[in-house]
Structure 1
Amino acid sequence: METFTVSSWSELQEILFADSWVPEIGRYRSRYAFRGLSDADYGLETTLMRLGGGYAQLERHLLRNFRKYAHRRVVERDSVWHWLAVAQHYGLPTRLLDWTYSPFVALHFATAHVDKIDRDGVIWAVNYLATHRMAPERLLSRLELEGANVFTVEMLSETVKSLTELDQLSDLPFTLFFEPPSIDDRIVNQFAFFSVSSDPMLAMDRWLLDHPGICRRIVIPAELKWEIRDKLDQSNVTERVFFPGLEGLTAWLKRHYSPRC
């Protein structure tokens, strides 16, 4: 796995947007999913994994009861993929991981936690096109039929009916990226999408180690965080945008006026 430790804002931009030129269309269109973490020592574990214990067996119980008690109008369609997306969005432990198409959104989450400002941060960048080439044929065929690069919940709902079916599609674990419905402005403004693994017990960073060449880690030294944070704020890349409403406003104000330690 490629790991870069940047030393300046300009070097960071070069690495974030590397390989984004697409000659077939003559445009700059990155094919990477980005995830920003405030501590470079953090891995790519799901919230389901963080439950501990027999979390893989708890998954179906968590989702079943979420579907049972949540209001039916929170989903557009009664499919496991719609329910998973909504559950993840509202904080239920799931096998999903949050990603963004935007490197600046990832940078925000890598630098927004003032209590971690003295720790190196990291941006994970995963090539979702290369990731999908390792998916089972049934899923690859659906992408090709749609002429799409990333799945939607509708595409997955029509192709794989359950998580059990997903787990049994291949003897080898695989990962998919899919876009959630535009549930609210938070998802839209964060340019968000999810990854899902066919093996709920396999952390994505461990899976990536077995598939070199599709991922890079960009380490942000602690001493660079304040500069990045100030430049993001001036570019309006803030909690006020990503979490519309009073909660985001107060989070932005609290961080913005926190003294530099």
Structure 2
Amino acid sequence: MDSSLEEFWQKYISFAQNNNSGGPEYIYRGVSNKTHELIPSIGRNTEENTRGNISTVERDLLTEFKRLSNPILNSNDTPNTEFDWLFLAQHYGLPTRLLDWSTNPLVALYFAVESNDDIDAGVYAINHRVTDQYELFDYKTADYTDKHKLKSASVIAIQPNQSNVIFVRPKYSDNRYVNQRSVFSCPKNPFKPLELDNLQFMELKGHWKPELRKRLRTMGVSTSYIYPGLDGIAKEVKSFIHDPISSGRRLVITVEPRLQ
């Protein structure tokens, strides 16, 4: 067994356990390539693809998404706020300013080791307030709406000197959000990497990924858990051809992943 891998595993699990309760919660983001910057999908190569005219790209995409989605959404599924529209658009792959994070460190590690076994990866971690009351905020400014600027300080989700981004938690109406313990960062400027105080990065080697996937599976964090439904099950079973957990594997066992 690679002693460096074992050292990483022990340190990662210990870090997660020690920061899993009390105060503002730690949130995590796994990246399969350590060189990936914290830039949301709307900001990746957008300036080049639009010849510098980026100011209206997001607005136009979201407006068109709303126009085409409304006829096929029933009244119960129609988003009530701009953030709800962003969550829906992000879920179906539309480029937005949202960036996926998780309050579950095992989920973040899964995304770091999910692919690209020849590329070093890692997990970002930060201790930051998360708000469930996203209706109080304007996603374009990462600040309170004018209507809510006089609300009680108890609902504040922005830490001092970090008003360039807020972290919001969607309503867990989708099983994928539930299993992934989803949180989204929403920056004021989606075309620049996030600037966050006290951001930590835990790097891991690409050749560790198969072994880390095995360990995560034994803890219940597998493809079918991350992506609940038949698509996720099929993807997981297919992976056994190239990435078997052990010789003679016959049964997939899914348990609720949690740190003890």
Shorter-chain TM-score tier: 0.7 to 0.9
Distance 1:65 1:226, change over 3 A: same
SS of equivalent to 2:185? strand
Q: Look up the equivalent residue of 1:179 and give its one-letter code.
A: R
Choose the corresponding residue for 1:151, options 131, 145, 165: 131
**CA displacement, residues 48-81 of structure 1 (integer Å, 9 cap, x when unaligned):** 0125233442010011111111134374543211
Q: Which residue of 2 aligns with 1:45?
A: 39
Whichever structure has more helix as a proportion of its residues is 1
Q: Which residue of 1 aligns with 2:114?
A: 112
Q: Which residue of 1 aligns with 2:137?
A: 160
**CA displacement, residues 79-116 of structure 1 (integer Å, 9 cap, x when unaligned):** 21111111111111000000100000011111111xx1
5 Å-filtered alignment, 1:134-213, equals: 150-152=130-132, 155-157=133-135, 159-160=136-137, 163=140, 166=143, 174-204=164-194, 207-208=195-196, 211=197
Does the CA contact (< 8 Å) of 1:100 and 1:192 recur in 2? yes
CA distance in 2, matches of 1:166, 1:62: 22
Choose the corresponding residue for 1:238, options 222, 233, 236: 222
Q: Look up the equivalent residue of 2:234 and give its one-letter code.
A: T
- State the 1:41 CA deviation: 1.2
Q: Which residue of 2 aligns with 1:144?
A: none
SS of equivalent to 1:119? coil
Distance 1:6 1:222, change over 3 A: farther
- State the 1:234 CA deviation: 1.6
Identity among equivalent pairs (%): 28
- Is 2:238 aligned against 1:254? yes
Does the CA contact (< 8 Å) of 1:167 and 1:199 recur in 2? no
Distance 1:51 1:93, change over 3 A: farther
Q: Look up the equivalent residue of 2:87 and give its one-letter code.
A: A
Q: Which residue of 1 aligns with 2:82?
A: 80
Q: Look up the equivalent residue of 2:215 and give its one-letter code.
A: K
SS of equivalent to 2:56? helix
- State the 1:245 CA deviation: 1.5
CA distance in 1, matches of 2:178, 2:162: 33
SS of equivalent to 2:201? strand
Quick one: higher RCO (CA 8 Å, sep 6+), 1 or 2?
1
Distance 1:81 1:222, change over 3 A: same
Does the CA contact (< 8 Å) of 1:34 and 1:100 recur in 2? yes
Q: Which residue of 1 aligns with 2:247?
A: none
Distance 1:196 1:203, change over 3 A: same
CA distance in 1, matches of 2:34, 2:7: 15
Q: Look up the equivalent residue of 1:84 and give its one-letter code.
A: L
- State the 1:172 CA deviation: 8.1
Q: Which residue of 1 aligns with 2:50?
A: none
Q: Which residue of 2 aligns with 1:69?
A: 68
- Is 2:200 aligned against 1:216? yes
Which region of structure 1 is more displaced relative to structure 2, 217-226 or 49-58? Answer: 49-58
SS of equivalent to 2:118? coil
CA distance in 1, matches of 2:6, 2:163: 32
Q: Which residue of 2 aligns with 1:98?
A: 100
- Is 2:14 aligned against 1:34? no
